[in-house]
């Protein structure tokens, strides 16, 4: 796959567009759209579509519309509209004044339907839903014509007007396209174009309508009315393309956009269907749509992912027509790449164990100037305070340990990062034998570096006891313990695969005072522990709560290896 002249990796959609520009199709214009249904928050799969559609518009000096596909009012609401706008903007894309609603076109859609009726291309059908299913046939058997198929156009028109006027109950009648009941493509067997829906207040049109157009009818006409040139959607719509084209060929649409399908993003260890994500929220399995374990844009943002890392991920996975499932490790790789170079370093002790430096003067505090980033001097320095008592992590001490344990052991030495080498003289325990404190001595000659001839391999992080700030830290694991939680029949049992340990909350963690005042949207590397950020929901200035965005190394790859061995 070569790189095209925009600098982005090429793909089959870019090739189509470049061909169209060259041949002067659509007058060389490129107009795309991102058409979410406001019935849930956007997820990482939508991000793939957003980056693709908005990215093409940017690269080919075209336009990308944000269009709410709002033809299903009972599942939609304004909270979702607002959340979608926020997420697209946060990802770094701007639709300018090009925001639309499919409901903006309800009147024009109605006119198109009337046009079809007048031309004998649509009819009002009185079959019940169950009868309609029977008449439709199967993949191997053709369908049968509805007894209402040859109803005179005038009668259909009259009934359609009455449907609009609210004279019939829900389900009593539908408007259907008159195409071909024997078509091998089920989508062409006289698909429904309009259905009756009483008693719902539409978030945009209120109670103005009691009939609503179907997606397959609305979408091509909305595209045409907006002058879209390339209507990009996911592969499951491939079989709908003949219907998309039929609608445009048989209504007075101002232009004929080209539908192009690409494969949707699937991610391991999570679900991506909005119905399932809605269920997770409604049943309280997660804190909400922005729970940091959710694959939603809002969840990833709260978890500490940056917009750049998500765009980078979408670029890496590429665009194709083959179905595939992407490893969680790849998403994490993208955020590590960004944060490794951009996140300032800090020290945080997750499981504090107090160390008393018996030879350090009681009343002394030392100020150590240390870099915020080991490679990037432009990120400046900060002051670390060092005193007679420091916290280290319990996991960094063992009373006895094999030689390969490079941290602190009884009678052994270790370097405190950015400070001194210490030696452990004594382990203090409580009545239950639990270690409560270590007595160590520090070596004044080792500040910052080992003197000649001294070899101390291990380096651990620490925080000065009197200066430490106590915080809560939330560690996240995959939301599901199965790589394809909804792979079962209809995905019915995906709830059974929820990982009970997906959130671990640590209280009493100690961080260095330089973290005071941290706010959401800032990312930090806590040395040796991973990348962290302030939790935008639970954190307060008086009691900070940090989320771990991701560990420092790819724990997924290791985990999967282990699973393969087992
Ligand atoms: P549902 O989960 O209910 O099927 P949807 O995926 O159809 O919802 P929409 O709001 O209709 O959700 O999606 C808006 C756009 O995002 C569509 O063009 C759709 O093709 C695209 N999209 C949705 N999911 C993915 C995905 N996993 N990968 C790539 N694109 C996606
Ligand atoms: Mg959809």
Beta carbons of 275 and 495 less than 8 angstroms apart:
no
Cα separation, 148 vs 142, whole angstroms: 18
Index of the ligand 1 atom closest to the CA of residue 237: 20
Q: Is residue 465 part of a domain?
A: no
pTM: predicted TM-score of the whole model, two decimal places: 0.94
d(CA 360, CA 409): 20
Identify whether 466 is part of a domain.
no
150 and 23 in a common domain: yes
Q: What is the pLDDT of residue 5?
A: 55
Element housing 124 (H / E):
strand 122-125
Tokens 């595939």 correspond to 324
Closest CA to 151 of 197, 190, 195: 190
Is 18 in the active site? no
Q: d(Cα 410, Cα 371) in Å, to the nearest integer? A: 31
CA distance 57 to 51: 10
Asked if residue 269 is part of any domain, the answer here is: no
Considering the domain architecture, whether residues 456 and 475 belong to the same structural domain is answered as no
489 catalytic per annotation:
no
Are 109 and 194 members of one domain?
yes
- Ligand 1 lined by 38 (C-beta under 6 Å): no
Q: Which of 49, 55, 101, 317 to mutate to test ligand 1, by most ligand atoms within 8 A of the CB atom?
A: 49
- Host domain of residue 446: 348-460
Let me know if 274 is a catalytic residue: yes
Please tell me whether residues 421 and 512 are part of one structural domain.
no
Q: Are residues 117 and 230 in the same domain?
A: yes
> Rounded to whole angstroms, how far apart are CA atoms 443 and 415?
10
Whether 542 is in a domain gets the answer: yes
Does one domain contain both 190 and 148?
Answer: yes
Q: Domain holding 385: CATH number?
A: 2.40.240.10
Tell me, yes or no, whether 101 and 42 share the same domain: yes
Q: Is 274 in the pocket of ligand 1 (CB under 6 A)?
A: yes
| CA–CA dist 532, 475 (Å, integer) | 9
Q: Is residue 61 part of a domain?
A: yes
Q: Which ligand is nearest to the CA of 215?
A: 2
pLDDT (tens digit, 0 to 9) for every residue of the chain, 566 residues total? 444 556 678 999 999 999 999 999 999 999 999 999 999 999 999 999 999 999 999 999 999 999 999 999 999 999 999 999 999 999 999 999 999 999 999 999 999 999 999 999 999 999 999 999 999 999 999 999 999 999 999 999 999 999 999 999 999 999 999 999 999 999 999 999 999 999 999 999 999 999 999 999 999 999 999 999 999 999 999 999 999 999 999 999 999 999 999 999 999 999 999 999 999 999 999 999 999 999 999 999 999 999 999 999 999 999 999 988 999 999 999 999 999 999 999 999 999 999 999 999 999 999 999 999 999 999 999 999 999 999 999 999 999 988 889 999 999 999 999 999 999 999 999 999 999 999 999 999 999 888 888 888 899 999 999 999 999 999 999 999 999 998 877 666 899 999 999 999 999 999 999 999 999 999 999 999 999 999 999 999 999 999 999 999 875 555 455 444 43
Q: Annotated catalytic residue: which of 25, 75, 264, 406? A: 264
Any domain includes 4: no
Q: Do 230 and 84 belong together in one domain?
A: yes
Whether 300 and 176 map to the same domain: the answer is no
Are 66 and 179 members of one domain? yes
Which of 413, 432, 460 is at the close of a domain?
460
62 part of a folded domain: yes
561 three-class SS: helix
| Whether residue 207 is found in the same domain as residue 290 | no
Q: Is residue 6 part of a domain?
A: no
Residue with tokens 């009259």: 158
319, burial (CB in 10 Å: exposed 0-12, middle 13-18, buried 19+): buried
**Which atom of ligand 1 sits closest to the CA of residue 234?**
20
Side-chain-facing half-sphere of 433: CA atoms under 13 Å: 1
* Overall domain count for the chain: 3
State whether 122 and 244 are in the same domain.
yes
Q: Of 264, 290, 306, which residue constitutes the final position of a domain?
A: 264
């Amino acid at each position: 796959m070569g790189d095209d002249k925009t600098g982005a990796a090429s793909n089959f959609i870019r090739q189509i567009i470049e061909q169209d520009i060259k041949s002067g199709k659509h007058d060389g214009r490129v107009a795309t759209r991102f058409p979410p249904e406001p019935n849930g928050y956007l997820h990482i799969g939508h991000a793939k579509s957003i980056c693709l559609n908005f990215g093409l518009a940017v690269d080919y000096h075209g336009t990308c519309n944000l269009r709410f596909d709002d033809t299903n009012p009972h599942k939609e609401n304004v909270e979702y509209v607002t959340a979608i706008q926020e997420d697209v903007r946060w990802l770094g894309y701007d639709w300018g004044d090009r925001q639309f609603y499919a409901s903006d076109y309800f009147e024009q859609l109605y006119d198109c339907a009337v046009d079809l009726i007048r031309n004998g291309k649509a009819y009002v059908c009185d079959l019940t839903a169950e009868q309609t299913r029977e008449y439709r046939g199967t993949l191997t058997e053709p369908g049968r014509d509805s007894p209402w198929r040859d109803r005179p156009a005038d009668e259909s028109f009259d009934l359609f007007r009455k449907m609009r006027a609210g004279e019939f109950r829900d389900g009593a009648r539908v408007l259907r396209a008159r195409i071909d009941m024997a078509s091998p493509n089920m989508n062409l067997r006289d698909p429904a174009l309009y259905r009756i829906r009483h008693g719902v207040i539409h978030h945009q049109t209120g109670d103005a309508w009691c009939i609503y157009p179907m997606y397959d009818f609305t979408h091509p006409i909305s595209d045409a009315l907006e002058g879209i040139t390339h209507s990009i959607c996911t592969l499951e719509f491939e079989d709908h393309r003949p219907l998309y084209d039929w609608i445009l060929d048989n209504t007075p649409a101002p232009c004929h956009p080209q539908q192009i399908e690409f494969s949707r993003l699937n991610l391991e260890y999570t679900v991506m269907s909005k119905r399932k994500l809605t269920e997770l929220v409604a049943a309280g399995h997660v804190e909400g749509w922005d729970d940091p374990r959710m694959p939603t844009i809002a969840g990833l943002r709260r978890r500490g992912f940056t917009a750049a890392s998500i765009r980078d991920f979408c670029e890496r996975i590429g665009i194709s027509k083959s179905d595939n499932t992407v490893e969680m490790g790849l998403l994490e790789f993208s955020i590590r790449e960004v944060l490794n170079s951009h996140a300032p370093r800090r020290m945080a002790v997750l499981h504090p164990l107090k160390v008393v430096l018996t030879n350090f003067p009681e009343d002394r505090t030392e100020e150590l100037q240390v870099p915020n980033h080991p490679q990037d001097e432009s990120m400046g320095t900060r002051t670390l305070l060092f005193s007679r008592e420091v916290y280290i992590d319990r996991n960094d001490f063992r009373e006895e340990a094999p030689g390969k344990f490079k941290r602190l052991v009884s009678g052994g030495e270790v370097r405190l990062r950015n400070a001194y080498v210490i030696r452990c003289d004594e382990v203090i325990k409580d009545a239950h034998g639990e270690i409560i404190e270590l007595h160590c001595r520090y070596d004044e000659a080792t500040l910052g570096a080992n003197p000649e001839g001294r070899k101390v391999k291990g380096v651990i992080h620490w925080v000065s006891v009197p200066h430490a700030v106590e915080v809560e830290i939330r560690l996240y694991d995959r939301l599901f313990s199965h790589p394809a939680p909804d792979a079962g029949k209809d995905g019915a049992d995906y709830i059974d695969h929820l990982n009970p340990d997906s959130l671990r909350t640590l209280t009493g963690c100690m961080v260095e005072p330089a973290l005071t005042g941290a706010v959401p949207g800032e990312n930090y590397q806590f040395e040796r522990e991973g990348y962290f950020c302030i939790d935008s929901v639970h954190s307060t200035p008086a009691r900070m709560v940090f989320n771990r965005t991701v560990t420092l190394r790819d724990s997924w790859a290791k985990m999967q290896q282990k699973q393969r061995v087992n």
